[in-house]
Amino acid sequence: MLSRWRQVKEGGGQVALISGEPGIGKSRLVLALRERIQGESKALLSYACSPHHANSALFPFVTQLERAAGFAPDDAPEARLDKLESLFQEPAACPDNAVALFADLLGIHIGSRHALAAMSPLQKKGLLFSAFLAQLEGLAVRGPVLVVLEDEPAGARAGPVSGRAGDR
């Protein structure tokens, strides 16, 4: 894993799959990796699937976004929108409607600040994946990025992102 990480730091995208029985220490291994490389990356993203949200393919993205934006339980919708906007001011390569799409995903009422064109759920999902990848790209131009997708089988429909993200 560390030699893969070295290759990532040299600019070569890597995808590593760790699979095995529950309890053999996969999460622990990833935690150890995170601790070892902490000072070497400003972007350690973690997407964890949950058996309780198996019907919600984007659940890991929702929780990662909420964590990254720093939402507090009692934030008003405007405060959440502010936090979401500041999250996306940093990485430059971000589609115009990303904030509106992410706000919609997070269930934040966007009101008149961002218009989201009417579209089918499938179109929305396609645009969301593109926005996530653009966000990732924005981070990747600034330095090495570690993305952890945990327990992916429970949310296998989010799978196409991991393959496309590896190319970034």
Ligand X SMILES: Nc1ncnc2c1ncn2[C@@H]1O[C@H](COP(=O)(O)OP(=O)(O)O)[C@@H](O)[C@H]1O
Distance of CA 12 to the CA centre of its chain: 20
Does residue 51 interact with ligand X by CB under 6 A?
A: no
Residues 106-135 contacting ligand X, CB under 6 A: none
Q: How many residues does the chain have?
A: 168
What does the per-residue mask of binding to Mg ion show for 67-96, with x meaning CB under 5 A? ------------------------------
What does the per-residue mask of binding to Mg ion show for 19-58, with x meaning CB under 5 A? -------xx-------------------------------
Question: What are the start-end ranges of the H helices in 90-119?
Answer: 98-105
Distance of CA 64 to the CA centre of its chain: 6
The two tokens of residue 145 are 């990025």
Which of ligand X, Mg ion, none binds 25 (CB below 5-8 Å, type-dependent)? ligand X
CA-CA distance, 150 to 64, in Å (whole number)?
A: 12
Closer CB to ligand X, residue 28 or residue 157? 28
Ranked by CB distance to ligand X, the top (closest) residue is: 25
One-letter amino acid at 168 equals R
Which residues have CB under 8 Å from 135's CB, separation 6+? Answer: 88, 91, 94, 98
Which of Mg ion, ligand X, none binds 142 (CB below 5-8 Å, type-dependent)? none
What does the per-residue mask of binding to ligand X show for 6-25, with x meaning CB under 6 A? ----------------xxxx
Which residue is associated with the tokens 């972007």? Answer: 43
CA-CA distance, 29 to 114, in Å (whole number)?
A: 41
Among 1, 6, 27, 34, binds ligand X (CB under 6 A): 27
Q: List residues near Mg ion by CB under 5 A.
A: 26-27
Q: List residues near ligand X by CB under 6 A.
A: 22-28
